[in-house]
Amino acid sequence: MEDKKIILSGIQPTGTFTLGNYIGAVRNWTKMQEDYNCIYMIANMHAITVRQGPAALRNHTVEAYALLLACGIDPEKSVAFIQSHNPAHAEANWVLACSTQFGELSRMTQFKAKSEKHPDDINAGLFTYPVLMAGDILLYQSDLVPVGIDQKQHLELARDVAQRFNQKYGDTFKLPEAYITEVGAKIMSLQDPTSKMSKSDDNPNACIFILEDKDTIIRKFKRAVTDSETCVRFAEGKDGINNLMSIYSVVTGKSYDDIEREFEGRGYGDFKIAVGEAVADHLAPVRESFARLMANKDYLKECYTKGAETATRIAYKTLSKMYKKVGFVPSR
């Protein structure tokens, strides 16, 4: 790999990507491929912290991989792989867990939210999830981690764990930084604009899935919850409209001022249709490319096998350093 900064990020195969995943994460990943050494991962080990049917997980994993490529990740330029194909992740997880405190994991808001959502399955994996994630990042000596704002707390924990390990055992890990864009770092639910748009939302109208057809996308935007005003403007308390404006801004490249001018004197109805159309048109090439890729599973397999080989080679350099530092005796 050339001497460029290292980017790493991951996405869970818990369902088709939403517009939130696309705008907050994957869209930015594609843009970084020229200037950085990029490593992107389908985090299937993270996904089983919440119950997944085995067949669904298998399908979603291959689909998520195809979606990464369909969104523009080029497997020739970036390393794109499936987490469970690289055993270093599970191994690093254990060692790092022994440098992570119970108290700091207890403070993770995602753990609290997911425990509330699944009170009958508050498993240990859900609790230690951020340790696995810290390993994902630290194994590759990543400089930057492009994520949506919901992952910021996990990133901070990864830095703390790395720092603690470095202090205890000597310099081992580079300290990673979160890379979070200003617009689109948190796309909100279309039905409850005070909560995050999430793949696993029970209400299908709350989410735009990036493979949905144009009519469905427009219909969902038409039903989006807004407020009782009629003026399209970005302002405090107008969560629904603010959300639609940031989506429209990202897919069209227009500023908030441009958008306010464009819709001056026009109602929310017109604006919602315009957002729906712009989003559907923006996503059309992704849908087409996804269909082509899914018709060629052999090619996908070739790509993820190769990705896993490269990822494993890079990660084991760090893992063997970790093992040495903590005092594990080498087998030969």
- Interface residue list for ligand LTN (CB under 6 A): 8-12, 43, 46, 133, 136-137, 145, 147, 151
**DSSP line for 94-135:** HHHHTTS-HHHHHT-HHHHHHHHH-TT---HHHHHHHHHHHH
CB-CB contact of 24 with 11 (8 Å): no
Q: How far is the CB of 84 from ligand ATP (least distance, A)?
A: 15
Cα 80 to Cα 65: distance, rounded to the nearest angstrom: 8
18 binds, among ligand LTN, ligand ATP, none (CB under 5 to 8 A by kind): ligand ATP
Q: How far is the CB of 110 from ligand ATP (least distance, A)?
A: 8
CB-CB contact of 195 with 189 (8 Å): yes
Order the strands of the 6-11 sheet from edge to edge: 79-82, 37-42, 6-11, 144-146, 177-179
8 binds, among ligand LTN, ligand ATP, none (CB under 5 to 8 A by kind): ligand LTN
187 binds, among ligand LTN, ligand ATP, none (CB under 5 to 8 A by kind): ligand ATP
Decide whether 131 or 244 has the Cβ nearer to ligand LTN.
131
Cα 296 to Cα 211: distance, rounded to the nearest angstrom: 18
Q: Which residues of this protein are in contact with ligand ATP, per CB under 6 A?
A: 11-12, 14, 18, 20-21, 23-25, 147-148, 150-151, 185-187, 196-200
Q: Structure tokens of 101? A: 């405190």
Q: How far is the CB of 132 from ligand LTN (least distance, A)?
A: 7
39 binds, among ligand ATP, ligand LTN, none (CB under 5 to 8 A by kind): none
Decide whether 119 or 327 has the Cβ nearer to ligand ATP.
119
Q: How far is the CB of 311 from ligand LTN (least distance, A)?
A: 12
Active-site amino acid positions: 114, 196, 199
Phi, psi (rounded to 5 degrees) for 290: -60, -45
